[in-house]
Structure 1
Amino acid sequence: MTNPAQPAAPASRLVSDQGLDDAVLPFAVEPLDLRGRVVRLGASVDHILVQHNYPPPVARLVGEAMALTVLLGSSLKIEGRFQLQTRSDGAIDMLVVDFDAPDRLRAFARYDAEKLADAARGGELLGKGHLAFTIDQGTDASRYQGIVALQGQGLEEAAHQYFRQSEQIPTKVRLAVAQSVTGAGASWRAGGLMVQFLPSSQERRRQADLDPGDAPAGLVYETPDEDDAWTEAKALAATIEDHELVDPTLSSERLLYRLFHEPGVKVFEPRMVRDSCRCSQDRIKAMLRRFTPAERTDMIGDNGKIGVTCEFCSTYREFDPKDFDE
């Protein structure tokens, strides 16, 4: 008999084979106490990468960063901004991805062509520096930033370090980027999977203590046994192939079913994502007004105008210096 005080459980349905690009699909594997998200980026990542005309190694890293940013930023419950930023001494010395909740995405990277050539011979794209995750909900009081040291590791491992250090949530992240070639030509695609172990018991979430760096010599840290459910979840997530994350013919639901059909997986409503820059004529004009008259004079080009190109969307705008006269 159904208890009338309790809502009826949602009915199960067939797995959808319809692929959905530029979308985040939240899911839960309740028998394993897992929550997660799958992101598939198509036109949005392709438009951003093509308009910047990045070399393939740069394009792939920017694509990975976009997928990771959407995986993390789409958890925001209210409007706000989630930003991923790297600064390093590698070939890509700066990379920025903004996710404006609920659905706007933009990105750009700055790279050194000579170092990029060295990276092709075994050098590092990111090198040494830091990766910062910033959540900004519009006020100073609600701004949060987590920082991970970059020592040549990729974005996947940097994300794992972030969750171990800052969130202390057992987390597994997978990222993939590729060019899809069809009769219509080549286009960039990116995909990502994130699973998190979120049991009701905090004791079951325990991970090995982190070395603070100044502990007495010989101190032995307790290493708790890993929960069996999390061990199984990581093993299942590790079976995913890069091509599965970017395959336009494989739906996110079908992918999740492949991974978790034995314990059972529940999906929720997807959230759509679009590439969109927040730059505008008025915003840039307001920015230029913050410069001194002398600084604006130095910006005037041969045509007598002040030209500004947005780093994110590459849109070029011109302004008449007379518009800034008092």
Structure 2
Amino acid sequence: MADFDFTQRFIFENNDVRGELASLEESYAHVLAKHDYPEPVATLIGELMTAAALLVNTLKFDGVLVLQARSSGSVPLLMVECTSDRELRAIARYEVEDISSASTFKEMMPDGVLALTVDPKEGQRYQGLVALDGESLAECFSNYFVNSAQLPTRFWLYADGQRARGMLLQQLPADRLPDPEEREASWQHVIALAATLSAEELLGLDNETILHRLYHEDALRVFSRTDVRFHCSCTRERSEKALISLGLDELKLLLVEKAGSIEIDCQFCNERYVFNEDDIIQMFAEQDATSASSTVH
């Protein structure tokens, strides 16, 4: 998978700027295979997956990064989860009758909000919000960093239903260039060159070629690739815990209502977990046995 799904960091040796490139193919294909998304929606979900892969490398945490874009339009929800281990899953909600092959981001997601949530295994949960007021998801993410008063950051995100690619540039705290004017000039130089990169080039060229075309006159240090993969965190055990939380009496009523079996579907991967009466009884028997064992010890 390293040949198809990865991120790769680079830094400018003489500027206070770092960069990241992301490439998703197999993980993107896994997500699209789970749902029959219209082409414009498949493009948006690929771009959001790429943004998550880029962002998770800028955050030093152990947990899950969640990106949610919500709107009042034909795409009311885009959602991507990416763990600190670079495991991705994603989903979109859409109204197919309101989407055509020519639908734009602004048309599909008007009056939208982008939420970025960092949910660490330990420590405090963080969430930032920004309006989806850009012409593209890439512009909205760039605006997020402007509005959140964090380090200046620019995004380039593209997807075509086969491959999703992205690039991030971020200005670092002053070090190599302490002079404010030189620092700003170097930042403008870096992003101006990046702006010349077309969607076709980013989707079709390898990282080495891209970086040479853009920055052959700049000293770069390019780091090793970091693998990214599709993975859904749903399990039968997690479904059992969700059912147990409802209580045995409630589940018995639900079994009658559902003609003897309860089904739990994962919205991300379409996996279906089915529980009959024997399963339910066994679940609560095991829970009681575990509780009794804990009490004795």
Provide the TM-score with structure 2 as the length reference: 0.85
What stretches of structure 1 of length at least 5 have no aligned partner?
1-18, 180-187, 207-223
User: Corresponding residue for 1:20?
Assistant: 3
Corresponding position of 1:70: 53
State the partner residue of 1:35. Answer: 18
- Mapped to 2, the partners of 1:290 and 1:230 lie a distance apart of 53
Q: Is the 8 A contact 1:126 1:152 kept in 2?
A: no
Looking at structure 2, the residues matched to 83 and 205 of structure 1 have their Cα atoms a distance apart, in angstroms, of 36
Tell me: CA distance 1:205–1:175, structure 2 relative to 1, closer, same or farther (3 Å). farther
Q: Distance in 2 between matches of 1:142 and 1:283?
A: 23
Give the equivalent residue in structure 1 for 2:200.
Answer: 243
* Gap change, CA 1:175 and 1:282, over 3 Å in 2: same
Task: Give 3-state SS (helix, strand or coil) of 1:142's partner.
Answer: coil
Q: Deviations over 1:91-116 (max 9, x none)?
A: 11011100011121000011112332
Question: Displacement, 1:190?
Answer: 0.3
How far apart, in 1, do the equivalents of 2:143 and 2:51 lie?
A: 14
Given that residues 70 and 112 in structure 2 are in contact (C-alpha distance below 8 angstroms), is that contact kept between their aligned partners in structure 1?
yes
| AA matched with 2:270 | S
Q: Which amino acid aligns with 2:156?
A: R
What residue number does 2:163 align with? 189
Among candidates 150, 169, 179, match of residue 168 of structure 1: 150
CA RMSD of aligned residues (A): 2.7
Encode CA deviations 1:30-51: one digit per residue, 9 max, x unaligned.
2232101000111110121122
Paired residue for 2:290?
none
Query: Does structure 2 conserve the Cα–Cα contact (< 8 Å) formed by 1:38 and 1:194?
Result: yes
Greater shift in the superposed pair: 289-298 or 164-173: 289-298
**SS of residue paired to 1:98:** strand
141-150 or 151-160, larger mean C-alpha shift: 151-160
Q: Which stretch has the larger CA shift, 141-150 or 57-66?
A: 141-150
| Structure 2 residue ranges without an equivalent (≥5) | 285-297
Per-residue deviation, 1:276: 0.4
Quick one: distance in 2 between partners of 1:295 and 1:118?
A: 44
Could you tell me which of 128, 141, 145 is aligned with 1:146?
128
Distance 1:278 1:296 in 2: 27
Paired residue for 2:109? 126
Whether contact under 8 Å (2:6, 2:22) holds in the other structure is: yes
Distance 1:274 1:143, change over 3 A: same
* Alignment-derived partner of residue 223 in structure 2: 268
CA deviation map 1:189-235 (0-9, x unaligned):
000000111142699798xxxxxxxxxxxxxxxxx998110110111
Identity of aligned residues (%): 35
SS in 2 for 1:227: helix
Q: CA deviation at 1:29?
A: 1.1
Which one-letter code corresponds to 2:38 in the other structure? P
1:104 lines up with 2:87 in the alignment: yes
Correspondence for 1:282 = 237
Contact 2:40 2:104 in 1 (8 A): no
| Residues in 1 aligned to 2:179 and 2:143: alpha-carbon distance in whole angstroms | 16
The alpha-carbon distance between structure 1 residues 205 and 126, as it changes in their structure 2 partners (threshold 3 A), is farther
2:204 matches 1:230: no
- Report what 1:313 is aligned to: 269
Provide Cα deviations, 1:212-268, integer angstroms capped at 9, x if missing partner.
Answer: xxxxxxxxxxxx998110110111110111112221xx3212211221110121111
Amino acid at match of 1:148: V
Q: Which moved more, 1:126-135 or 1:196-205?
A: 196-205
The 8 Å contact of residues 91 and 111 in structure 1, kept in 2 or not, is answered as yes
* TM-score of the superposed pair, with normalisation by structure 1: 0.78
- Tell me, what secondary structure is at the counterpart of 2:113? strand
Is the aligned partner of 1:157 residue 2:113?
Answer: no
Deviates most, 123-132 or 65-74: 123-132
Aligned length in residues: 280
Per the alignment, residue 10 of structure 1 pairs with none
